[in-house]
Amino acid sequence: MPVADLPEDATLEEIRAALAARIAPNAAFDGWTQAAVDATAAQIGVDPDIARLAFREGAVDMIDAWFAQIDRRMLEAVPADRLAAIKIRQRIAALVEARLDALAPDREALRRAVAILAMPQNVGRAARLGWRSTDLMWRLAGDTATDYNHYTKRAILGGVYAATISVFLNDDSEGHVETRAFLGRRIDGIMRFEKAKAKLLTPKTHRLSLTRFVGRLRYPVV
């Protein structure tokens, strides 16, 4: 976001979003540090002291804001009308791939972010950030579950997404085809699991009832 897009009376949240949209390339060189914030602030013409207030919680706060920008780019790349025209398996794949495309120019910044989020003191925050992204993807894919399925779907996709990111960070194939193939296999696994779970939980009208069978032994139908 160029400085011209920021109004003179921009709120701290607007400044935070503007910085988050530009910070990753600087974080790739300076780490998720104050130096990256200062460099980004200079690029978009924001007072460095105000920029520091936007990320007063430090590195994880910067990563949080950057991930929120990735969410926005994913939404722009995969609009609702496109999602409506494809199957749910394709929706999930398209959304994850859109995130990977948005992250691709800044893989080193992502590598540094993953290392920071893996620190013991950041595990809780990392889990919340992962949940936010997987919840958004399932909702965009059309999931309306409110029972335990709501949680299992997001937990499973979260594991798939984390594993995919690990592959992505070390994938030097053209167009990240190895990552996309890995993702495709894992999403196929999610769909198979969901189908098997649905069959298991669907009541069977002709399933043998042991209680009813024993009852009929005691009280035969006449």
Residue 114: is it exposed, middle or buried by C-beta count within 10 angstroms (0-12/13-18/19+)? middle
Work out the average pLDDT over 175-188.
Answer: 93
* Higher pLDDT, residue 149 or 26: 26
- Among 18-27, 48-57, 194-203, whose mean pLDDT is lowest? 194-203
Angstrom distance (rounded) from CA 99 to CA 74? 5
Task: Please enumerate in sequence order all residues whose Cβ is within 8 A of that of 135, keeping only pairs 6 or more positions apart, or say none.
Answer: 154
With vertex at residue 121, the alpha carbon angle to CA 118 and CA 127, rounded to the nearest 5 degrees, is 55
Q: What is the pLDDT at residue 222?
A: 45
Percent of the chain with pLDDT over 90: 73
pLDDT at residue 13, as a whole number: 93
CB 178, CB 171: distance < 8 Å? yes
Burial class (CB in 10 A: 0-12, 13-18, 19+), 56: exposed
Q: 73-112 pLDDT, tens per residue?
A: 999 999 999 999 999 989 999 999 999 999 999 999 999 9
Residue of 153, 211, 160 whose CA lies nearest to 186: 160
Token pair of 165 as six digits: 């990111």
Annotated domain spans of the chain: 1-56, 58-201
**DSSP per residue over 24-38, as a string?**
HHHHHHH-SSHHHHH
Q: What is the pLDDT of residue 141?
A: 94
Which CATH architecture does the domain made up of 58-201 adopt?
A: Orthogonal Bundle (1.10)
In 3D space, the residue among 108, 83, 85, 105 whose CA is nearest the CA of residue 96 turns out to be 83
What's the pLDDT at 211? 53
